[in-house]
Amino acid sequence: MSVDVSAGTNVVGGAVTTPPRRRWRIPKALVWAAVTPFAAWAAARVTGLERGSLTTQLMTATPYAAAGSLVPLLLAAATRRRAATAVALVTTAAFGFSVLPRALGSAEATSGTPLRVLSLNMLFGHADPEAVMDLVRRLKPDVLSTQELTPGMADELDAAGLKDLMPHRVLQTAWSASGSGLYSRHSLTPLENLFRPIGHNMPAAVVSVPGAGDVEIVDVHPFPPLGSQVHEWTAALDSFPAASTDRIRLFAGDFNASLDHAAMRAFLGRGYADAADRVGQGLIPTWPANKKTPALITIDHVVVDQRVNVNAVSVHTVPGTDHRAVFADLRLPRLPSS
């Protein structure tokens, strides 16, 4: 036998053989360590098991976890860990069923009476009033729902022309985050005792829409689910009334909630739908805006009665505030009792 050292091969009986290569193997424990957190997250999302402030806040990042779940799936498959691969595959599928419909939407007829709704959190009244008015003039909303509306901001908007374009209003302004207000092109009547507001001011009103009759709208702004406020946040979403059989009801505002929160899904389950979700725009983030990093999570919504058709939804950045405005172009049905 001779050994060819320079070639790194053995010559045995005139035949050249190559020594077997050592396989680099990822430890089984490491594969499971990658798979398990995503599996737990998906299980909590599907079953609505988030508890407390921290997990509730983390749930808003579910779309990113859904994308990230592909990494442990590929890792488990590449290392041929069958059990881990199966768990990772189920995890990714669960995330997909939870998240992907928001990007796909559903085809809907656009028949019905148009009603355009614009919602914006104004960050303690710091939103640029001229930018707000530019949106109002360009999008021509019939109803404007505002959160964190201060008395000063209300005056600035009127001075910029809002009082002429949307003269009807139900305002509950405050020099804090609690201020809110509804503006309308159509007649607007305050609606009392529809529900018990928990959190910031949440005025409700009846809009008299030509061709569709009376429509109820709620300006939404519960406390964020931070620390002990998570209990008030949950209670606020639970307090919203179920859809009415004889009247169309809409909700627009800063819900401090995403569609991955069990409390939000429970609210929608009482006869409502997220307008952006309906038209495949449900993954567009709305907060935080005007930061060095782009907006990350979707917590501002226009929520509609399931009988309402959604023609289009768009999201717009407004200087001066950390929330993006949400615009929904709706089509209202004519109810028999209207």
**Alpha-carbon gap, residue 198 to 301, rounded angstroms:** 18
**What pLDDT sits at residue 55?**
93
**Alpha-carbon gap, residue 100 to 141, rounded angstroms:** 29
Q: Are 79 and 25 in contact (CB under 8 A)?
A: yes
Q: Which two tokens stand for residue 158?
A: 């009127």
Helix (H) or strand (E) holding 10: strand 9-12
Q: What is the DSSP string of 61-127?
A: GHHHHHHHTHHHHHHHHHTT-HHHHHHHHHHHHHHHHHHTHHHH-------SEEEEEEEEE-TTTTS
Q: Which two tokens stand for residue 96?
A: 């997909």
**Alpha-carbon gap, residue 155 to 142, rounded angstroms:** 20
Q: Which two tokens stand for residue 31?
A: 């594969």
Q: Give the residue among 146, 112, 83, 98 at the shortest CA–CA distance from 307.
A: 112
Q: Are 304 and 145 in contact (CB under 8 A)?
A: no
Q: Which two tokens stand for residue 279?
A: 């038209």
**What pLDDT sits at residue 316?**
98
DSSP character for 18? Answer: -
- pLDDT truncated to tens, each residue of the chain (338 aa)? 454 545 555 555 555 666 655 545 778 889 999 999 999 999 999 999 998 999 999 999 999 999 999 999 999 999 999 999 999 999 999 999 999 999 998 766 678 999 999 999 999 999 999 999 999 999 999 999 999 999 999 999 999 999 999 999 999 999 999 999 999 999 999 999 999 999 999 999 999 999 899 999 999 999 999 999 999 999 999 999 999 999 999 999 999 999 999 999 999 999 999 999 999 999 999 999 999 889 999 999 999 999 999 999 999 999 999 999 999 999 999 876 54
What is the 3-state secondary structure of 121-183? ECCCCCCCHHHHHHHHHHHCCCEEEEECCCHHHHHHHHHCCHHHHCCEEEEECCCCCCCEEEE
**What pLDDT sits at residue 95?**
97
Ramachandran quadrant class, 65 (left: phi over 0; alpha: psi -120 to 50; beta: rest)? alpha
3-state SS assignment for residue 312: strand
**What pLDDT sits at residue 51?**
87
**What pLDDT sits at residue 338?**
47
Q: Superfamily for 111-332?
A: Endonuclease/exonuclease/phosphatase (3.60.10.10)
DSSP character for 213? Answer: E
In the chain, where does the domain assigned CATH 3.60.10.10 lie? 111-332
224: preceding bond cis by omega (within 30 degrees): no
User: Phi and psi (nearest 5°) for 54?
Assistant: -65, -50
